[in-house]
Structure 1
Protein backbone atom coordinates (compact mmCIF):
# COMPACT_ATOMS: atom_id res chain seq x y z
CA UNK A 1 0.00 0.00 0.00
CA UNK A 2 1.29 3.46 -0.86
CA UNK A 3 2.42 5.70 1.98
CA UNK A 4 0.29 8.51 0.47
CA UNK A 5 -2.66 7.06 2.43
CA UNK A 6 -1.01 7.86 5.77
CA UNK A 7 -1.05 11.23 7.49
CA UNK A 8 2.19 12.46 9.11
CA UNK A 9 2.31 12.40 12.91
CA UNK A 10 2.61 15.61 14.94
CA UNK A 11 6.22 16.59 15.62
CA UNK A 12 8.14 19.25 17.46
CA UNK A 13 11.71 20.25 18.25
CA UNK A 14 13.70 19.81 21.43
CA UNK A 15 13.69 23.07 23.36
CA UNK A 16 16.99 24.71 24.09
CA UNK A 17 17.86 24.67 27.77
CA UNK A 18 15.34 21.89 28.56
CA UNK A 19 17.10 18.70 29.72
CA UNK A 20 16.49 15.48 27.79
CA UNK A 21 17.27 12.36 29.83
CA UNK A 22 17.99 8.82 28.76
CA UNK A 23 15.20 6.43 29.77
CA UNK A 24 15.40 4.43 32.96
CA UNK A 25 15.49 0.69 32.53
CA UNK A 26 12.14 -0.84 33.33
CA UNK A 27 12.24 -2.69 36.63
CA UNK A 28 11.73 -6.41 36.36
CA UNK A 29 8.47 -7.60 37.80
CA UNK A 30 8.57 -9.92 40.78
CA UNK A 31 8.16 -13.62 40.05
CA UNK A 32 6.54 -16.45 41.92
CA UNK A 33 6.53 -20.14 41.03
CA UNK A 34 3.15 -19.81 39.32
CA UNK A 35 4.28 -17.00 36.99
CA UNK A 36 4.49 -17.87 33.28
CA UNK A 37 7.89 -19.40 32.56
CA UNK A 38 8.50 -17.04 29.67
CA UNK A 39 8.70 -14.13 32.16
CA UNK A 40 11.85 -15.68 33.66
CA UNK A 41 13.62 -16.21 30.34
CA UNK A 42 16.35 -13.90 29.06
CA UNK A 43 14.78 -13.35 25.65
CA UNK A 44 17.33 -13.08 22.84
CA UNK A 45 14.55 -12.13 20.43
CA UNK A 46 14.05 -8.83 22.30
CA UNK A 47 17.58 -8.22 23.50
CA UNK A 48 19.99 -9.83 21.05
CA UNK A 49 23.11 -11.34 22.64
CA UNK A 50 26.40 -9.81 21.58
CA UNK A 51 28.18 -12.03 19.07
CA UNK A 52 31.57 -12.16 17.33
CA UNK A 53 33.30 -14.09 14.55
CA UNK A 54 35.51 -17.07 15.36
CA UNK A 55 38.28 -15.40 13.31
CA UNK A 56 38.30 -12.22 15.41
CA UNK A 57 41.40 -11.46 17.47
CA UNK A 58 41.31 -11.75 21.24
CA UNK A 59 42.01 -8.02 21.48
CA UNK A 60 38.88 -7.36 19.42
CA UNK A 61 36.83 -9.72 21.60
CA UNK A 62 38.05 -7.91 24.72
CA UNK A 63 37.20 -4.52 23.20
CA UNK A 64 33.67 -5.67 22.33
CA UNK A 65 33.10 -7.11 25.81
CA UNK A 66 34.34 -3.89 27.42
CA UNK A 67 32.26 -1.69 25.13
CA UNK A 68 29.08 -3.75 25.61
CA UNK A 69 29.70 -4.34 29.34
CA UNK A 70 29.37 -8.12 29.06
CA UNK A 71 31.59 -10.97 30.22
CA UNK A 72 30.97 -13.36 27.34
CA UNK A 73 30.24 -13.29 23.60
CA UNK A 74 28.38 -15.80 21.49
CA UNK A 75 30.47 -16.93 18.53
CA UNK A 76 28.69 -17.22 15.18
CA UNK A 77 29.56 -17.68 11.52
CA UNK A 78 28.49 -15.75 8.42
CA UNK A 79 25.20 -17.67 8.33
CA UNK A 80 24.51 -16.68 11.97
CA UNK A 81 24.99 -20.25 13.12
CA UNK A 82 25.96 -20.59 16.77
CA UNK A 83 29.47 -22.03 17.10
CA UNK A 84 30.23 -21.50 20.76
CA UNK A 85 30.95 -18.92 23.44
CA UNK A 86 34.08 -16.98 24.35
CA UNK A 87 34.55 -15.57 27.84
CA UNK A 88 36.80 -13.03 29.51
CA UNK A 89 38.57 -15.90 31.24
CA UNK A 90 39.38 -17.38 27.84
CA UNK A 91 40.73 -14.16 26.34
CA UNK A 92 42.78 -12.80 29.25
CA UNK A 93 45.30 -14.06 31.77
CA UNK A 94 46.97 -17.46 31.75
CA UNK A 95 44.41 -19.37 29.68
CA UNK A 96 45.24 -17.82 26.30
CA UNK A 97 48.94 -18.14 27.13
CA UNK A 98 48.47 -21.83 27.83
CA UNK A 99 46.44 -22.27 24.62
CA UNK A 100 49.14 -20.54 22.55
CA UNK A 101 51.86 -22.69 24.14
CA UNK A 102 49.90 -25.88 23.44
CA UNK A 103 49.42 -24.85 19.79
CA UNK A 104 53.01 -23.73 19.34
CA UNK A 105 52.08 -20.17 18.32
CA UNK A 106 52.50 -16.70 19.78
CA UNK A 107 49.65 -15.39 21.99
CA UNK A 108 49.11 -12.53 19.54
CA UNK A 109 48.25 -15.07 16.82
CA UNK A 110 45.34 -16.54 18.76
CA UNK A 111 41.82 -15.93 17.48
CA UNK A 112 38.46 -16.43 19.17
CA UNK A 113 38.04 -19.87 17.60
CA UNK A 114 41.17 -21.08 19.41
CA UNK A 115 39.85 -20.30 22.89
CA UNK A 116 36.05 -20.52 22.57
CA UNK A 117 33.96 -23.17 24.26
CA UNK A 118 32.32 -25.27 21.57
CA UNK A 119 28.50 -25.34 21.45
CA UNK A 120 28.57 -29.14 21.40
CA UNK A 121 30.13 -29.20 24.86
CA UNK A 122 27.06 -30.69 26.53
CA UNK A 123 24.64 -27.81 25.92
CA UNK A 124 21.25 -28.53 27.43
CA UNK A 125 18.24 -26.98 25.70
CA UNK A 126 14.52 -26.58 26.26
CA UNK A 127 12.06 -25.99 23.43
CA UNK A 128 10.10 -22.76 23.34
CA UNK A 129 6.84 -24.62 22.65
CA UNK A 130 7.24 -26.46 25.96
CA UNK A 131 8.18 -23.28 27.81
CA UNK A 132 5.17 -21.37 26.44
CA UNK A 133 2.65 -23.26 28.58
CA UNK A 134 4.90 -23.82 31.60
CA UNK A 135 5.34 -22.03 34.92
CA UNK A 136 8.45 -20.74 36.65
CA UNK A 137 8.21 -23.66 39.06
CA UNK A 138 8.53 -26.07 36.11
CA UNK A 139 11.69 -24.30 34.97
CA UNK A 140 13.27 -24.39 38.44
CA UNK A 141 12.43 -28.09 38.76
CA UNK A 142 13.96 -28.78 35.32
CA UNK A 143 17.19 -26.93 36.09
CA UNK A 144 17.53 -28.76 39.40
CA UNK A 145 16.78 -32.12 37.75
CA UNK A 146 19.47 -31.41 35.15
CA UNK A 147 21.87 -30.30 37.88
CA UNK A 148 22.77 -27.22 35.87
CA UNK A 149 22.55 -23.51 36.65
CA UNK A 150 21.20 -22.68 33.19
CA UNK A 151 19.48 -23.98 30.11
CA UNK A 152 19.30 -22.59 26.59
CA UNK A 153 15.90 -22.21 24.92
CA UNK A 154 15.47 -22.95 21.21
CA UNK A 155 12.71 -23.06 18.65
CA UNK A 156 12.60 -24.45 15.11
CA UNK A 157 12.41 -22.53 11.86
CA UNK A 158 10.59 -23.65 8.71
CA UNK A 159 13.55 -25.87 7.77
CA UNK A 160 13.54 -27.53 11.22
CA UNK A 161 16.80 -25.85 12.23
CA UNK A 162 17.38 -24.84 15.84
CA UNK A 163 17.08 -21.12 16.51
CA UNK A 164 18.47 -19.86 19.81
CA UNK A 165 15.84 -17.63 21.42
CA UNK A 166 16.77 -17.36 25.08
CA UNK A 167 18.22 -18.78 28.24
CA UNK A 168 17.04 -19.58 31.76
CA UNK A 169 19.49 -18.83 34.58
CA UNK A 170 18.72 -20.37 37.95
CA UNK A 171 20.56 -17.76 40.03
CA UNK A 172 18.67 -14.97 38.31
CA UNK A 173 15.33 -16.73 38.79
CA UNK A 174 16.03 -17.45 42.47
CA UNK A 175 16.90 -13.81 43.00
CA UNK A 176 13.66 -12.65 41.40
CA UNK A 177 11.75 -15.15 43.54
CA UNK A 178 13.23 -13.46 46.60
CA UNK A 179 15.43 -16.42 47.48
CA UNK A 180 19.16 -16.51 48.07
CA UNK A 181 20.80 -17.82 44.88
CA UNK A 182 22.25 -21.26 45.46
CA UNK A 183 26.01 -21.62 45.48
CA UNK A 184 27.01 -22.83 42.04
CA UNK A 185 29.68 -25.36 41.24
CA UNK A 186 32.44 -24.48 38.79
CA UNK A 187 30.89 -24.17 35.35
CA UNK A 188 32.13 -26.74 32.85
CA UNK A 189 29.56 -26.87 30.09
CA UNK A 190 28.69 -24.32 27.43
CA UNK A 191 25.40 -23.31 28.98
CA UNK A 192 26.88 -23.20 32.50
CA UNK A 193 29.52 -20.74 31.34
CA UNK A 194 26.89 -18.55 29.67
CA UNK A 195 24.85 -18.64 32.87
CA UNK A 196 27.65 -17.91 35.29
CA UNK A 197 29.09 -15.05 33.22
CA UNK A 198 25.96 -13.61 31.69
CA UNK A 199 24.34 -12.03 34.71
Structure 2
Protein backbone atom coordinates (compact mmCIF):
# COMPACT_ATOMS: atom_id res chain seq x y z
CA UNK A 1 0.00 0.00 0.00
CA UNK A 2 1.42 3.37 -0.99
CA UNK A 3 2.33 5.64 1.88
CA UNK A 4 -0.38 8.24 2.43
CA UNK A 5 0.38 11.92 2.74
CA UNK A 6 -0.52 13.66 5.95
CA UNK A 7 -3.29 16.23 5.65
CA UNK A 8 -3.49 18.94 8.23
CA UNK A 9 -6.30 21.28 9.21
CA UNK A 10 -5.95 25.06 9.56
CA UNK A 11 -8.24 27.79 10.88
CA UNK A 12 -10.28 29.50 8.19
CA UNK A 13 -8.94 32.86 7.04
CA UNK A 14 -11.16 35.89 7.79
CA UNK A 15 -14.21 36.22 5.53
CA UNK A 16 -13.75 32.91 3.72
CA UNK A 17 -16.67 32.17 1.44
CA UNK A 18 -17.56 28.94 -0.35
CA UNK A 19 -17.70 27.71 -3.92
CA UNK A 20 -21.00 27.40 -5.75
CA UNK A 21 -21.82 25.69 -9.04
CA UNK A 22 -21.00 28.05 -11.88
CA UNK A 23 -21.57 27.70 -15.57
CA UNK A 24 -19.19 29.59 -17.78
CA UNK A 25 -21.05 30.86 -20.82
CA UNK A 26 -19.30 31.23 -24.13
CA UNK A 27 -18.71 34.97 -24.27
CA UNK A 28 -19.86 35.35 -27.87
CA UNK A 29 -22.14 33.18 -29.96
CA UNK A 30 -23.53 33.61 -33.44
CA UNK A 31 -27.01 32.96 -34.78
CA UNK A 32 -25.78 29.65 -36.25
CA UNK A 33 -23.94 28.51 -33.06
CA UNK A 34 -25.30 25.39 -31.31
CA UNK A 35 -28.25 26.33 -29.07
CA UNK A 36 -26.76 24.49 -26.10
CA UNK A 37 -24.03 27.17 -25.86
CA UNK A 38 -26.72 29.66 -24.78
CA UNK A 39 -28.60 27.37 -22.36
CA UNK A 40 -28.26 27.59 -18.58
CA UNK A 41 -27.65 23.94 -17.72
CA UNK A 42 -29.12 23.07 -14.32
CA UNK A 43 -26.61 20.24 -13.98
CA UNK A 44 -23.91 22.93 -13.77
CA UNK A 45 -25.72 25.85 -12.20
CA UNK A 46 -28.25 25.58 -9.38
CA UNK A 47 -31.76 26.86 -9.96
CA UNK A 48 -32.71 29.66 -7.58
CA UNK A 49 -35.91 28.93 -5.64
CA UNK A 50 -38.48 30.97 -3.75
CA UNK A 51 -41.49 30.04 -1.65
CA UNK A 52 -44.99 31.04 -2.82
CA UNK A 53 -45.93 32.84 0.42
CA UNK A 54 -43.31 35.59 0.35
CA UNK A 55 -43.73 39.09 -1.04
CA UNK A 56 -42.85 39.93 -4.62
CA UNK A 57 -40.49 42.59 -3.26
CA UNK A 58 -38.55 39.87 -1.44
CA UNK A 59 -38.55 37.77 -4.63
CA UNK A 60 -37.14 40.69 -6.62
CA UNK A 61 -34.38 41.18 -4.04
CA UNK A 62 -33.58 37.45 -4.24
CA UNK A 63 -33.28 37.75 -8.02
CA UNK A 64 -30.94 40.73 -7.72
CA UNK A 65 -28.70 39.06 -5.14
CA UNK A 66 -28.52 35.85 -7.20
CA UNK A 67 -28.05 37.69 -10.51
CA UNK A 68 -31.05 35.99 -12.14
CA UNK A 69 -34.38 37.11 -13.57
CA UNK A 70 -36.35 33.91 -13.00
CA UNK A 71 -37.09 31.96 -9.81
CA UNK A 72 -38.56 28.49 -9.44
CA UNK A 73 -41.48 28.66 -7.00
CA UNK A 74 -41.34 25.55 -4.80
CA UNK A 75 -43.09 24.10 -1.77
CA UNK A 76 -41.17 22.91 1.34
CA UNK A 77 -40.62 19.52 -0.37
CA UNK A 78 -38.95 21.31 -3.32
CA UNK A 79 -41.81 20.40 -5.67
CA UNK A 80 -42.12 22.89 -8.50
CA UNK A 81 -45.30 24.99 -8.17
CA UNK A 82 -44.54 27.54 -10.88
CA UNK A 83 -42.20 30.31 -11.98
CA UNK A 84 -41.90 34.01 -11.34
CA UNK A 85 -39.82 36.42 -13.40
CA UNK A 86 -38.63 39.97 -12.95
CA UNK A 87 -41.00 40.92 -15.78
CA UNK A 88 -43.91 39.49 -13.76
CA UNK A 89 -42.93 41.62 -10.76
CA UNK A 90 -42.03 44.83 -12.58
CA UNK A 91 -44.70 44.60 -15.28
CA UNK A 92 -48.48 44.97 -15.23
CA UNK A 93 -49.32 41.79 -13.29
CA UNK A 94 -49.11 43.34 -9.78
CA UNK A 95 -51.33 46.30 -10.77
CA UNK A 96 -53.86 43.98 -12.42
CA UNK A 97 -53.92 41.70 -9.36
CA UNK A 98 -54.44 44.43 -6.79
CA UNK A 99 -57.24 46.17 -8.71
CA UNK A 100 -60.17 46.35 -6.34
CA UNK A 101 -58.31 44.54 -3.55
CA UNK A 102 -56.96 47.64 -1.82
CA UNK A 103 -53.48 46.09 -1.50
CA UNK A 104 -50.13 47.83 -1.46
CA UNK A 105 -47.48 46.59 -3.91
CA UNK A 106 -45.42 45.06 -1.08
CA UNK A 107 -48.44 43.04 0.13
CA UNK A 108 -48.64 41.04 -3.10
CA UNK A 109 -47.29 37.51 -2.69
CA UNK A 110 -45.36 35.42 -5.20
CA UNK A 111 -48.31 32.99 -5.44
CA UNK A 112 -50.55 35.86 -6.60
CA UNK A 113 -48.69 36.60 -9.84
CA UNK A 114 -46.49 33.57 -10.55
CA UNK A 115 -47.07 31.42 -13.63
CA UNK A 116 -48.50 28.20 -12.16
CA UNK A 117 -47.06 24.79 -13.06
CA UNK A 118 -50.17 23.94 -15.09
CA UNK A 119 -49.40 26.85 -17.48
CA UNK A 120 -45.71 26.07 -18.00
CA UNK A 121 -44.37 24.87 -21.34
CA UNK A 122 -40.95 23.54 -22.32
CA UNK A 123 -38.96 22.44 -25.32
CA UNK A 124 -37.21 19.08 -25.42
CA UNK A 125 -33.47 18.60 -24.95
CA UNK A 126 -33.33 16.32 -27.99
CA UNK A 127 -34.60 19.23 -30.11
CA UNK A 128 -32.17 21.66 -28.45
CA UNK A 129 -29.24 19.41 -29.43
CA UNK A 130 -30.26 19.85 -33.09
CA UNK A 131 -31.03 23.60 -32.84
CA UNK A 132 -29.03 26.80 -33.26
CA UNK A 133 -29.05 29.96 -31.19
CA UNK A 134 -31.05 31.51 -34.04
CA UNK A 135 -33.74 28.86 -33.58
CA UNK A 136 -33.97 29.76 -29.87
CA UNK A 137 -34.19 33.48 -30.67
CA UNK A 138 -36.94 32.79 -33.22
CA UNK A 139 -38.89 30.76 -30.64
CA UNK A 140 -38.61 33.44 -27.95
CA UNK A 141 -39.64 36.18 -30.38
CA UNK A 142 -42.54 34.11 -31.73
CA UNK A 143 -44.05 33.42 -28.30
CA UNK A 144 -43.13 36.83 -26.85
CA UNK A 145 -41.31 35.47 -23.80
CA UNK A 146 -38.01 36.21 -22.12
CA UNK A 147 -37.41 32.63 -20.91
CA UNK A 148 -37.90 29.09 -22.17
CA UNK A 149 -37.54 25.86 -20.21
CA UNK A 150 -35.82 22.72 -21.53
CA UNK A 151 -36.92 19.20 -20.50
CA UNK A 152 -34.68 16.15 -20.40
CA UNK A 153 -34.89 12.66 -18.93
CA UNK A 154 -33.26 12.39 -15.51
CA UNK A 155 -31.05 9.32 -15.74
CA UNK A 156 -31.27 8.72 -11.95
CA UNK A 157 -35.08 8.69 -11.68
CA UNK A 158 -36.03 7.99 -15.29
CA UNK A 159 -38.51 10.89 -15.11
CA UNK A 160 -38.61 14.01 -17.24
CA UNK A 161 -37.20 17.06 -15.46
CA UNK A 162 -36.27 20.65 -16.24
CA UNK A 163 -32.69 20.45 -17.44
CA UNK A 164 -32.12 23.98 -18.68
CA UNK A 165 -33.33 27.51 -19.22
CA UNK A 166 -32.92 29.85 -22.15
CA UNK A 167 -32.84 33.49 -21.08
CA UNK A 168 -33.30 36.27 -23.61
CA UNK A 169 -31.09 38.52 -21.45
CA UNK A 170 -28.24 36.00 -21.49
CA UNK A 171 -28.54 35.44 -25.24
CA UNK A 172 -28.65 39.21 -25.86
CA UNK A 173 -25.28 39.51 -24.08
CA UNK A 174 -23.82 36.64 -26.06
CA UNK A 175 -25.13 37.88 -29.44
CA UNK A 176 -24.66 41.57 -28.63
CA UNK A 177 -28.14 42.32 -29.98
CA UNK A 178 -31.66 42.86 -28.65
CA UNK A 179 -34.27 40.10 -28.81
CA UNK A 180 -37.65 41.62 -29.60
CA UNK A 181 -40.02 39.76 -27.29
CA UNK A 182 -41.97 42.70 -25.84
CA UNK A 183 -43.35 43.89 -29.16
CA UNK A 184 -44.62 40.41 -29.96
CA UNK A 185 -46.26 40.14 -26.54
CA UNK A 186 -47.95 43.49 -27.09
CA UNK A 187 -49.14 42.36 -30.49
CA UNK A 188 -50.75 39.27 -28.92
CA UNK A 189 -52.35 41.48 -26.28
CA UNK A 190 -53.68 43.75 -29.00
CA UNK A 191 -55.10 40.77 -30.87
CA UNK A 192 -56.76 39.46 -27.70
CA UNK A 193 -58.13 42.93 -26.97
CA UNK A 194 -59.50 43.19 -30.49
CA UNK A 195 -61.16 39.76 -30.22
CA UNK A 196 -62.79 40.66 -26.91
CA UNK A 197 -64.15 44.05 -28.06
TM-score, normalized by the shorter chain, greater than 0.5:
yes
In structure 2, the CA distance between the partners of 1:36 and 1:169, relative to structure 1 (3 Å rule), is: same
* Structure 2 residue aligned with 1:136: 133
> Which digits, 9 at most, give the CA deviation of each residue in 1:41-71, with x for residues without a partner?
1223222232111122445434423433444
* Two-structure CA RMSD over aligned residues (Å): 4.3
In structure 2, the CA distance between the partners of 1:154 and 1:102, relative to structure 1 (3 Å rule), is: farther
In structure 2, the CA distance between the partners of 1:90 and 1:138, relative to structure 1 (3 Å rule), is: closer
Counterpart among 25, 31, 46 of residue 48 in structure 1: 46
Q: CA deviation at 1:103?
A: 5.0
**How high is the TM-score relative to the length of structure 2?**
0.60
Counterparts of 1:57 and 1:76, CA distance in 2: 14
**How high is the TM-score relative to the length of structure 1?**
0.60
Q: Which has the larger displacement, 48-57 or 88-97?
A: 88-97
Matches within 5 A, 1:132-171: 132-143=129-140, 148-157=145-154, 161-170=159-168
* Structure 2 residue aligned with 1:113: 111
* Structure 2 residue aligned with 1:80: 78
* Structure 2 residue aligned with 1:21: none
> Which digits, 9 at most, give the CA deviation of each residue in 1:62-109, with x for residues without a partner?
442343344442211233232222345655798546534545777666
> Which digits, 9 at most, give the CA deviation of each residue in 1:101-157, with x for residues without a partner?
545777666432123222433x44211233234443443454456565542111123
Contact 2:144 2:183 in 1 (8 A): no
Counterparts of 2:143 and 2:99, CA distance in 1: 35
Counterparts of 2:157 and 2:81, CA distance in 1: 19
Instruction: Give unmatched runs, 5+ long, in structure 1.
Output: 16-24, 189-199
